[in-house]
Structure 1
Amino acid sequence: MTHKKYQLNNIIEQHAIDYIPENERHGKLLSQFTLWFGANLQITAIITGALAVVFGGDIFWSIIGLFIGQLLGGSIMALHGAQGPKLGLPQMVMSRASFGIYGAMLPIILVCIMYIGFSASGSVLAGQAVARLLSVSDSAGILLFGACLIGFTFCGYKTIHRIGKVASLVGIVAFFYMFYILITQHNIIELLSIRHFSWINFSLAIALSTSWQIAFGPYAADYSRYLPTNTPMVKTFFAIGSGSVIGTQIAMVFGVLVAGLAAQTGGQFRYNEVSYIVELSGVGFVALLLYFSIAFGKVVITTLNAYGSFMSMTTIISGLRKNHTLSQRSRLIYILVMVGLSIMIALLGRGDFLRNFSTFLLFLLTFFTPWSAINLVDYYLVKKKHYDIPSLFDTNGLYGKWNKVGMGVYIFGILIQLLFIHTPFYTGVLVSYLHNTDISWMIGWIIPAVLYYFLSINETNK
């Protein structure tokens, strides 16, 4: 009986948002690379890259813009992930040090919305792949994918890293084959030679990949928090960052090429993204294998989002209840609620997925760039990589219920971006002076970072 209990505990994670003791730390940096590499080598990254061309960019400059955004956003995301081994806590719990225990609930609620949205968008694409693979409707495919999602999310940390390793291998094989077919059967050189540089489209490509990477920031440390405390920060940074940047860039470059080919040949890419990509690369048994690789590729990233939403929901409730432990029954209920919401949205919102997703992605950046800036400046520059962990769970502790500086800078960071943002449903008053170039993500990170640093240092010196 004891042996069976040990095996079960080895499969199903026992911790939630509580601190991971040193004697339970495990894992190697390679698993950080494979997790983020496998999580990004998937269909949604392909489509996000394709957006740079679908909305007017050329092939060459879109690839360059996307790569610049990967480096910028990937560096920020990896800095968040590097906090995990040192603190042994989920990412959003750390926010309490700069926002206060109650104050941190505002960005955490927005994070929950993000995770549900990403899980929904991932379920739409994975559902299409499952539907083609099993010859069922898209709705049935989404529901079947949702059931798998619940199982993997409930098992937790170790299982997520294990499927990340498998997804890396599956992704490498699938993408090698798809690139081979694309390059040998189509004139890619001709596509790359068509160049018409535009600052608007170039900045859009940078914003797409930057937002993609920064969107991982609120849960990057969730998947590194079990690493031993003495894991070198620099090595953790490069393991996480390189996996995410390389995997994403490969997928997005493929998306750019596919979208460029579709525009050149008049192919129906929009509204039919998954089928178009698979039919471009193979038919029959090969197509079935590609549908499987697409569905499996979505398992990792969508499980990350579902797990992140569960952790965030737990963080919110624990702040209200002043209890950071969680029973397995409560764990399952939270996961069912969060995954259920994402599946419901996926079933209701299957329409113009491409445009809706791009709008959603860029809109999220408005809320998470200032949070990212505050979190990183607070941890690395203000508190010098030292947090009082018990105080993160105590409203009467060092960080208190509310941090006026953190909350004020965060809200200001959101508001100032509204002057520079350019989306289909809202355009800032200063955008026209910048030739309709959206630089809100840059403004929303740099200004809050500088402002929070000086205000916090001033507060400390009083």
Structure 2
Amino acid sequence: MANTTSESRPFAERRTIDYIPDSERHGRPVSQFTLWLGANLQITAIVTGALAVVLGGDVFWSLVGLAIGQMLGGAVMALHGAQGPALGLPQMISSRVQFGVWGATLPLVLVCLMYVGFSAGGTVLAGQAIAQLSGITPTSGVLVFAALVLLAAVLGYRLIHGLGRLMSLVGVVAFVYLFARLLANHDIAALLAIRHFTVADFLLAMSLSASWQIAYGPYVADYSRYLPRATSTSRTFWAVWLGSVVGSQASMTFGVFAAALAGQAFAGHEVTYVVGLGGGGIAAALLYFAIALGKLTATTLNAYGCVMSVATIATGLAGRRSISAAMRTGCIVGMLAIVVWIALAGQHAFLKAFSSFILFLLAFFTPWSAINLVDYYCVTKERYDVPALYDPNGRYGRFNFTGLVVYAIGVLVQMPFIATGFYTGPLVGALGGADISWIVGLAVPALLYYVAVRGNRAHVPDRLILPGDAAASVAAASATWRTQPAARAAGESPR
């Protein structure tokens, strides 16, 4: 398989949602490990872990619940990431198989809201770190941070992986130091011996970490799609899973201990408290740098993913295969402008709003994950028609109403079980306040979708069809479309 050398590849990325040909594939699965390790060794993950204690849990059972949710949610996330090398596409364009070329717009819009929400929360914390590091105001810190994200997202894929490698190194050193400082003068065994198990608190901890992992699902393949096509699914899965689970569990464990030991000194003052552990001088400056770098890595992922989602929406509606460099930059600027506005407006009420936001996100992304994974691994069995993903009149049609209906059911069936600051379902009280919506949101749509489509596989090609096989794709799509006149008249996918 021919790959261009690193010297012949331009540093600035030129592709958006178009297929990555073999000649441009490069890298190894270890790059996925360092990217997701670095992306999760960050202040927002610390805050997320702290919530398990801030909202009522003890240390021992919070750590156990976070670890279980981490592993389960990480598996969902890594299964998405493993699609990248085979398809050579960013994550969300594959939703056109399940929802139709136009129908995929619905989950894409919701994904963009997710990017904005996570980015705004991270920008608040990064702005604080930059302000403390440089002596400017927090507002100026937010603006400086946004400019750095803009530069990194415009340059794209290679710089993002470089940030991941740098942050994985800086993050490991910083966290080893922080754990040593935090635990040096405290009896951790005594803290772990205090155990007050409640189902609600345990499930809350699981939901916090599972939601953290599942929320990566809509863009994880964006960062594995340049790997050589021969890269095995299992190697990609384990590289993504280990990096994300190890990184996030380390951060959340620190957050649990910090919240338990510091109490009110931590909540609402997360950046100041973390840096205060290092004392002053050079150590404090390096910790502020590590916090800012961690948020730069994660927020760049969000901005880059937003470009992929907006490009997928625009090209699907316009019948195009990619967007221009100017439009790509414009998307990043527009997204960051909204992020900055939200960050500046909400920077003083971050912790409570963020906890509600990440839990409520589950209602919209677990059904999408369930449908996408069941279709890819159990129904089509990795046999996609890549050229047809760009054609509203092709194999997958404009709308796949089966996928859209199952998705809507998957969202609605979670409502009785959701417990957030935005909304609390009627069955939450009977469960002692526990939020199990993410479990329902994975299981129900996965089963419904599989049952609904398993008997009708006319849309499934007999093999993976790539752009080089365009003639075969057109012939297969035409034959299928001619046999489905009713579906064609309705603009529906022939499922």
| Aligned alpha-carbon RMSD (Å) | 1.3
* Partner Cα distance (1:16, 1:460) in 2: 30
In the TM superposition, 1:195-344 aligns within 5 A as 195-263=195-263, 267-344=264-341
- The aligned residue for residue 479 of structure 2 is none
After superposition, give the CA deviation of every residue in 1:218-275 in whole Å (9 maximum; x if it has no partner).
Answer: 0010000000111010010000000000000000000000000012xxx422221110
| Alignment counterpart, residue 354 of structure 2, candidates 353, 357, 381 | 357
Higher helix share: 1
* Partner Cα distance (2:103, 2:81) in 1: 22
Are the counterparts in 2 of residues 370 and 413 from structure 1 also a CA contact under 8 Å? Answer: yes
Are the counterparts in 1 of residues 200 and 431 from structure 2 also a CA contact under 8 Å? Answer: no
Deviation at 1:422, TM superposition (A): 1.2
> Which residue identity is paired with 1:201?
D
Deviation at 1:9, TM superposition (A): 5.8
In the TM superposition, 1:58-69 aligns within 5 A as 58-69=58-69
Deviation at 1:8, TM superposition (A): 9.8
> Which residue identity is paired with 1:325?
S
1:141 aligns with 2:141: yes
Are the counterparts in 1 of residues 149 and 300 from structure 2 also a CA contact under 8 Å? Answer: yes
SS in 1 for 2:197: coil
Aligned length: 454
> Which residue identity is paired with 1:152?
A
Deviation at 1:351, TM superposition (A): 1.8
Are the counterparts in 2 of residues 182 and 281 from structure 1 also a CA contact under 8 Å? Answer: no
From the superposition, tell whether residues 425 and 331 of structure 1 become closer, same or farther in structure 2 (CA, over 3 Å).
closer
Deviation at 1:459, TM superposition (A): 3.3
1:193 aligns with 2:193: yes
After superposition, give the CA deviation of every residue in 1:354-391 in whole Å (9 maximum; x if it has no partner).
Answer: 11001000010100000000000000001011100011
* Partner Cα distance (1:280, 1:196) in 2: 28
- The aligned residue for residue 175 of structure 2 is 175
- The aligned residue for residue 3 of structure 1 is none
Are the counterparts in 2 of residues 373 and 446 from structure 1 also a CA contact under 8 Å? Answer: yes
After TM superposition, the score normalised by the length of structure 2 is: 0.90
> Which residue identity is paired with 2:116?
I
Percentage of matched positions with identical amino acids: 55
* Partner Cα distance (1:189, 1:132) in 2: 34
In the TM superposition, 1:26-41 aligns within 5 A as 26-41=26-41
* Partner Cα distance (1:227, 1:182) in 2: 39
- The aligned residue for residue 465 of structure 2 is none
1:411 aligns with 2:408: yes
- The aligned residue for residue 399 of structure 1 is 396
Task: Identify the structure with bigger relative contact order (alpha carbons < 8 Å, sequence gap 6+).
Answer: 1
Deviation at 1:191, TM superposition (A): 1.8
- The aligned residue for residue 97 of structure 2 is 97
After superposition, give the CA deviation of every residue in 1:15-43 in whole Å (9 maximum; x if it has no partner).
Answer: 10000001110011111100000000110
1:437 aligns with 2:447: no
SS in 1 for 2:231: coil
Structure 1 gap ranges (5+): 1-5
Structure 2 gap ranges (5+): 1-5, 459-494
1:369 aligns with 2:360: no
SS in 2 for 1:10: coil
After superposition, give the CA deviation of every residue in 1:289-319 in whole Å (9 maximum; x if it has no partner).
Answer: 1111110111111100111111111111111
